[in-house]
Amino acid sequence: MLTLLRDKLSGWFAKILFGLLIIVFSFFGIEGYFVASHATWVARVGDHDVGGQEFQDALNRARQQQLQHNPQIDPKFLDGNVFKQDVLEGLIQRQMLINLGGELGVMVPDSLLRREIAQIPQFQVDGKFDPATYTAVLAANGLTPERFQEMERGDLSVQLLPQALGDSSIVPQSEIDGYLRLIGQTRDFSYVDLPVPQAASGTVSEAEIGAYYKAHAQQYMSPEQVSVQYVDLGVDNVPAPPAPSAEELRALYAKNQARFVVPSQYEVSHILIALPKNATPAQKAAALAQAQKVDALAHAPGANFAALARQYSDDLGSKNLGGSLGWLGLGDTDPAFQAAMIALKPGQVSAPVLTSDGYHIIELQAERAGVTKPFAEVKDALTVDYLKQARSKEYSHIAGKLIDAIDSNPGSLEDAAKALNVPVQVSPLFARSGGTGLFAHPKVVQAAFSGQVLKDNNTSDPINLSPEHLVLLHLARHVPAQPLPLAAVAARIKVTILAQRVAAAASKQADALLAKLKAGIALDALAKSVGASVQTVNAATPGTPNLDPALLTAVFKLAAPAPGKSVPSAVDLGQGRYALVQLSTVHPGDVSKLPPGQREYIASQLRQMQSGASVQAFLDALRRSTKIETAPNRM
């Protein structure tokens, strides 16, 4: 597989394929002159389009992920071309891998797809996959199970090729040892912490302060600020519904009893002999022969099923796990696979079973019998579900009425809120950099300073902070940015000017002393000339305690000295502080002293890095051999 992957990116095959693509696209280009164009694609990857809606969905997901990881992120960045281009590049890479996977006949088995979906927490109840929850969550997000499975299958197929390529990465022992010697390196050096010199003059005239204020006026502005009226409506702050009666809970239990059935589960491993779609009779015969061969090996006395799976299975998702599919329930697999699975007893291996993926040899490792939880055991959970659904329904009702009222009269938030008995609050002033609490959220800040609120004096569009939490804003007060009075910032400017003078004097002193050190004057003599002393550090590491990190960073960036020589340097430690440094010796790390566990951990990290580099090189080569067009104006 790996050889085939690499071969397809170079040589005569790539040239012929690329030549054919050029011919095909040439004809498509000619046809475009005669047929009206209503193109909506954002990128074309080979002969597949990345549509505008697909791009927009990916962009929205990427924005949500960024906001979850960094709520303080600048909203302008998320709307910028750089961010959009990164999202588009991810879609292009995804489509390239899907195209190549189809060309190579890479398949995602149904068993792997079901297992991956079953492990998604949003589809689980009490830690187990729940079909009703699965359907409800998809419906709430505008997806059908078929569409979601198609998307998941695409994502998994995209992962399989890079994973297979990465797994083939090998890091030679010599490289591992070299890296260990590097990270275990220690250094001997001496340094002088130079005293901070006095500024040439401690007096700053009013004229100097005025000139600095004028030259740096943008640094001395009061920020633009707003205060807003706002409605903060969440599912948790709608009126609490009354507790359900015992009869209502019994009815809810009867209606949702399937949720409380713990079905039989089967711990299964398999070996897949894959069949391509539309397989020829010869391919079917060859696959069956291979399956019968592996089946005979699996039934032989003392057979190691996991080892056979690693050697023979075409299921890239499970072969490295010894064929393990984990625990499966009824309905999680192909009907033929399921029939064979439930007919087995723990420890037994099936004959070859044909499904749409190919031939499976199945091993049942363990079985759990199904049970139904009694009403008493799930009563509390039913009560929580009932109240949650009632709150959610009330939230949706209030939110819908509120939004309808704002649409009818966007010039007033108070009127709409009063009619629904929803409180309107007033925020403190906050700037474009954000305030505290709710007003630190980028979406809220962006809406508060939008033209709709700030210039048109209308209520904002609903700001959805989560599926059941919205905020509406209306301008209460606007304070434009304006220059701070010179008198208010004169003292700060004076401190800044004096600090700049000190920094200039310190830099000049360090440069002069370094020149003398390079000329051969001893470090201790130079230290005495400025009233300082020499500090000697032996066997320093980048994390040596009680030493300035900036000093250590600079020391470990210096080139190793030649035998019998030293390397001089001056290091800026910040705030007018400098150190004069003399590096004398570099000691490589001793690989033999490293504990085996730590050595293996570092080796695994190197393999992971090598794997990432191999995958990136693969993607770069794939991109060079793929015809790609983009339409930035449609992003």
What residues contact 218, with CB distance under 8 A and at least 6 apart? none
- The first and second tokens of residue 292, run together, are 């019968």
Residue 537: in which H helix or E strand, if any? strand 534-540
List pLDDT tens digits, range 573-587: 998 899 999 999 999
- The per-residue pLDDT for 166 is 67
Q: Give the pLDDT confidence score for residue 7 in this predicted structure.
A: 39
Residues 147, 157: Cα–Cα separation, whole Å: 15
157 within 8 A of 108, measured Cβ to Cβ: yes
pLDDT digits (tens, 9 = 90+) for 370-394: 888 888 888 888 888 888 888 889 9
Q: What are phi and psi of 583, to 5 degrees?
A: -85, 125
Give CA–CA dist 317/323, Å, rounded.
8
Q: What distances in angstroms separate CA 40 from CA 79, 85, 209, 421, 494, one per listed residue?
A: 20, 17, 58, 45, 59
Sign (positive/negative) of CA torsion 248, 254, 257, 259? Answer: negative
Q: What is the pLDDT of residue 39?
A: 63
pLDDT at residue 11, as a whole number: 37
φ, ψ dihedrals at 160, nearest 5°: -65, -45
Buried b (16+ CB within 10 A) or exposed e, 73-84: eebeebeeeebb
Cβ burial, residue 377 (10 Å; 0-12/13-18/19+): exposed
pTM over cut 0.85: no
CA distance 382 to 3: 56
Distance (Å, rounded) from C-alpha 98 to C-alpha 48? Answer: 10
Query: In the β-sheet with 41-45, what is the strand arrangement from edge to edge?
Result: 48-51, 41-45, 628-630
Alpha carbons 83 and 55: distance in angstroms, whole number: 12
What residue segments make up the domains of the chain, in order of their start? 2-105+612-634, 185-220+486-587, 222-243+377-483
Q: What is the pLDDT of residue 461?
A: 92
CA angle 546, 551, 552 (to 5 degrees): 75
Residue 559, pLDDT score:
95
pLDDT in tens, 549-564: 999 999 999 999 999 9
Residue 73 token pair: 């992120």
> CA neighbours within 13 Å on the CB side: how many for 463?
22
Burial class (CB in 10 A: 0-12, 13-18, 19+), 342: middle
The pLDDT of residue 38 is 53
The pLDDT value given to residue 6: 35
Total number of residues shown for the chain: 635
State which residues of the chain have pLDDT below 50: 1-37
> Which residue bears the tokens 């830690």?
127
Could you tell me which residues come within 8 angstroms of residue 198 by beta carbon, excluding any fewer than 6 positions away?
Answer: 502, 505
Contact 398, 422 (CB under 8 A): yes
Determine contact, residues 313/271, Cβ cutoff 8 Å.
yes
Number of C-beta neighbours around residue 298 at 10 A: 22
Secondary structure (H, E, C), 186-210: EEEEEEEEECCCCCCCCCCCHHHHH
Q: Give φ, ψ of 450 to 5 degrees.
A: -75, 160
Place of tokens 């962006």: 446
3-state secondary structure of 324: strand
CA distance 243 to 221: 56
In the chain, the amino acid numbered 550 is: A
Contacts of 572 (CB under 8 A, 6+ apart): 507, 510, 550, 578
First to last CA, the chain: 36
Q: Is 33 helix (H, G, I), strand (E, B) or coil?
A: coil
Helix (H, G, I), strand (E, B) or coil at 457: coil
User: Which of left, alpha, beta for 106 (phi over 0: left; psi -120 to 50: alpha)?
Assistant: beta
The helix-helix angle for 110-118 and 145-167 (nearest 10°) equals 100
Q: How do residues 490-514 score in pLDDT, each as one tens digit?
A: 999 999 999 999 999 999 999 999 9
